[in-house]
């Protein structure tokens, strides 16, 4: 599995870039709003989401891990495939998508080509409560134990609560174990 690619943009394509990495060109599809900021010759780091089908292998690149995580959450919704998720992330920044979910703003999603009102409602219904809050009340984004609990599907509130009172001097692994015990109570 490819987790990230760090290299130089050899050229831009209609939907992404070709990254030159050790003499091999990797075509990476990126959200359009981010693609506009890139130029050939730029050194970039993309966090990768792979989409493997019987007749197609596509790499989707994101500027940071939270955006990639949001992509994964969007594609977990029934009716939202990789192309629809990229279309949403091309039209809006990650924090705008999260705010739309938290505020039940169906219009944000239904304004994206290929996303109807029912799919927009399903996105909000299925992802509300699964996102890290974007209002600054979220946990410490540099805390690996907190991020691990979030990646396991816990809400930001539950992750914060689980780690509350656990000594930060402990190893990340020990904090995660203790946090999981606290969540399961």
Kindly list the domain boundaries of the chain, sorted by start residue.
4-62, 65-127, 144-184
Task: Give the model confidence (pLDDT) of 80-118 as tens digits.
Answer: 999 999 999 999 998 899 989 988 999 999 999 989 999
User: Into which CATH architecture does domain 65-127 fall?
Assistant: Orthogonal Bundle (1.10)
CATH placement of domain 4-62: 2.40.50.140
- What pTM did the predictor assign? 0.70
Task: Give the model confidence (pLDDT) of 16-49 as tens digits.
Answer: 999 998 889 999 999 999 999 999 999 999 999 9
- Give the whole-angstrom CA distance, residue 96 versus residue 120: 14
- Give the whole-angstrom CA distance, residue 141 versus residue 118: 33
- Give the whole-angstrom CA distance, residue 137 versus residue 131: 12
């Amino acid at each position: 599995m490819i987790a990230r690619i760090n290299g130089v943009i050899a050229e831009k394509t209609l939907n992404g870039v070709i990254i030159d990495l050790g003499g091999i060109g990797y075509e990476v599809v990126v959200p359009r709003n981010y693609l506009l900021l890139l130029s050939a010759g730029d050194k970039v780091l993309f966090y990768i989401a792979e989409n493997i089908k019987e007749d197609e292998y596509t790499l989707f690149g994101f500027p940071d891990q939270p955006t990639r995580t949001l992509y994964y959450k969007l594609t977990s919704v029934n009716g939202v495939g990789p192309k629809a998720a990229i279309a949403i992330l091309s039209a809006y920044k990650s924090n705008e998508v999260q705010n739309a979910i938290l505020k039940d703003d169906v219009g944000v999603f239904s304004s994206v080509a290929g996303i109807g009102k029912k799919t927009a409602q399903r996105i909000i219904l299925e992802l509300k409560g699964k996102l890290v809050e974007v209002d600054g009340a979220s946990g410490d984004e540099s805390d690996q134990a907190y991020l691990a609990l979030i990646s396991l599907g816990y809400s930001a509130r539950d992750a914060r609560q689980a780690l509350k009172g656990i000594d930060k001097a402990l190893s990340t692994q020990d904090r995660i174990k203790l946090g999981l015990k606290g969540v399961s109570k």
